[in-house]
Structure 1
């Protein structure tokens, strides 16, 4: 009997990363894929990206509506409460043997808690990482403690998960799913990318994704994006900006980027959603990347792309040699932009080899899960009753 595997996707970002794994689950007779969409997938403001999932040929087993009704902490807390109720109902309906979650979004707090209370083992992708400027930091570690199986991208992250008391034989270093996409997706040529994005990448173009730093105080998101935009206005290249995520204060960022794109159309272009293929194609063709997205740390090394990681949102993550860390001030960003465009740094970035794997992450996860199927189907309590591993 196939293992009923409930996979949660919260946004266009994690769906893109999960796609290689979803494809492997779908073609394997050992698994019955139960794909559930939640979060910004169900938001018109973010482009109703649940439609992208069905357009890609995946059937959705269910939807859990939990978008914040206000762009603040109260709205997020209320969304988690609705999500907990929604995932509880979903688990009762689908009766999965396993839940798979990726990352550290607040939606996963609801999903993983529901799984824990219903005694459904959780497999967590990408514990052990740190993002000291974001609420995601605590959520990620919380999900790690609720999870029974752990898939991590680097040896250092494997060590951290074990430091948190998880048993070593349940922690697996598999690389990053984002690198599978780099290897498997046929990327757009210049003409297709121009038609898709409205941008001519034969000229220098920067790619930018900037999210709220959720542990900062009120008004900081607005101040930070204004510093970034002030630095970009003096550059002689166009910056293609993707929409921020659905975190509190994201609207402060979105509205300021939108205003800048109207005021300086030759410098700033805003798009709601490039899709995974469009985003990676833009990354391959870009002159540089900047912002505070994990994609700037994980995927860009595969393209040798000079990248600015701005501010504290990704603070604590492993920093590849193609990435420049800088404070979120106009002067620091300008200094980092100059370095990123220097021949010496561009040569260093181009020569760097990604430490995040060679595109076989999904297959490694599937192979590992297959080994656990007898336990998951017949003795799930062996996974649920966790022994704290002391160092």
Structure 2
């Protein structure tokens, strides 16, 4: 039996990992170890470890490291605490694989501990580009630390090979988040309204905005001003992740909600199925979250992506890009809600669609059992300068 350790530190990441965790938990050839940290253990961000337990999983390890501060110093200290705790965990449990997803900065500390402990690292969703966030550097750094890779598109698979990774250890399995659309029931409108408090038939915009961590300051006033132009439509605003400057965003959305009582719904965290329902029934998705780029196109709703956080990431034609500027946002909102664009949405496709990604990953881990190694050789490509 292979012991597979899966790391999760945020609600969003857990939602993407859900079906992989489920498959590992049910497969008799694997011993699932679930390491829970970050905002999962923070009441400020919804204490979402309760969602994990409610789903029927028992965390193997709970590592509380989040400091109530979003300064660079606090984030660095949190990462250091995580690395120390994981060093003890790896020494005690010695998992066969350590699975991480994405690009959050704490993954650097997690993967550093795994590398030093000689635990093979499996990286999901590598090779992607997000030029407006420090996540860009983190993601590529993790790819170089990792031993095995699973990507969401073929272009991303080729990019990881271009980084010198062995092609036999880089597999395009598609985006994990889309697996929920085919394997998980999305609540109907009435269930969504009961769970969130939305009025029956109420039209709403879904707003998910995270700080652009490459910048020195963050303001979403221009976005909030544009949203105010639609007083009859409720704004459902999801709290940002625990990035640098996230508290600046939280202060702004709280002030907005206070100024527009009854027309704004703030949500700290939400179960995965209800978040999918919010995407399915919204009039418009606006913000800069990767879920808007990767998952939202499957719901055939208009998407407005603001700023550079997701710059460089492959997107569908249903995604409209603007900067954080009132005039730009207002104009593109009119376009997104207009009849011409709405009529085109059913024909727009999602470039991230995959065929049961979690099962592809598990089968690969099964096949690599005898080949498992932490050794890496740089794979050179032939090219002409």
Shorter-chain TM-score bucket reads: over 0.9
Q: Displacement of 1:266 after TM fit? A: 4.1
SS in 1 for 2:286: strand
SS in 1 for 2:368: helix
Checking the alignment, whether the CA contact within 8 Å between 1:190 and 1:200 is kept in structure 2 is no
SS in 2 for 1:150: strand
* Superposition pairs of residues 349-360 of structure 1, within 5 angstroms: 349-360=345-356
Partner residue, 1:204:
203
Match of 2:332 among 327, 336, 343: 336
**Structural RMSD (CA):** 1.2
Partner residue, 1:216:
215
Partner residue, 1:40:
39
Match of 1:274 among 258, 267, 270: 270
Partner residue, 2:133:
134
Distance 2:89 2:312 in 1: 35
Match of 1:387 among 369, 377, 381: 377
Distance 1:302 1:358 in 2: 12
Partner residue, 1:347:
343
Q: Displacement of 1:103 after TM fit? A: 0.5
Match of 1:370 among 366, 369, 373: 366
Partner residue, 2:322:
326
Distance 2:354 2:365 in 1: 20
Partner residue, 1:312:
308
Q: Displacement of 1:138 after TM fit? A: 0.5
> Structure 1, residues 2-29: CA drift from partner, whole Å, max 9, x if none?
1100000011100011001011101111
Q: Displacement of 1:201 after TM fit? A: 6.3
Runs of 4+ off more than 4 Å: none
SS in 2 for 1:373: coil
Q: Displacement of 1:267 after TM fit? A: 3.4
Partner residue, 2:186:
187
TM-score (norm 1): 0.95
Distance 1:7 1:264 in 2: 41
Checking the alignment, whether the CA contact within 8 Å between 1:65 and 1:86 is kept in structure 2 is no
Checking the alignment, whether the CA contact within 8 Å between 1:197 and 1:274 is kept in structure 2 is no
Q: Displacement of 1:239 after TM fit? A: 1.2
> Structure 1, residues 123-172: CA drift from partner, whole Å, max 9, x if none?
00011001111011111001000000000011111111011110111110
Checking the alignment, whether the CA contact within 8 Å between 1:321 and 1:348 is kept in structure 2 is no
TM-score (norm 2): 0.96
Partner residue, 1:112:
111
What 5-or-longer segments of structure 2 have no aligned partner? none
Q: Say yes or no: does 1:58 pair with 2:66.
A: no
* Superposition pairs of residues 220-259 of structure 1, within 5 angstroms: 220-221=217-218, 223=219, 225-235=220-230, 236-259=232-255
Q: Displacement of 1:202 after TM fit? A: 2.0
Distance 1:89 1:215 in 2: 32
Q: Say yes or no: does 1:285 pair with 2:281.
A: yes
Partner residue, 2:13:
14
SS in 1 for 2:289: coil
Distance 2:344 2:89 in 1: 49
Q: Displacement of 1:375 after TM fit? A: 2.4
SS in 1 for 2:174: coil
Length, aligned pairs only: 380
Partner residue, 2:90:
91
Which of 261-270 and 166-175 deviates more?
Answer: 261-270
Which of 48-57 and 346-355 deviates more?
Answer: 346-355
Distance 1:68 1:215 in 2: 21
Checking the alignment, whether the CA contact within 8 Å between 1:232 and 1:267 is kept in structure 2 is no
SS in 2 for 1:357: coil
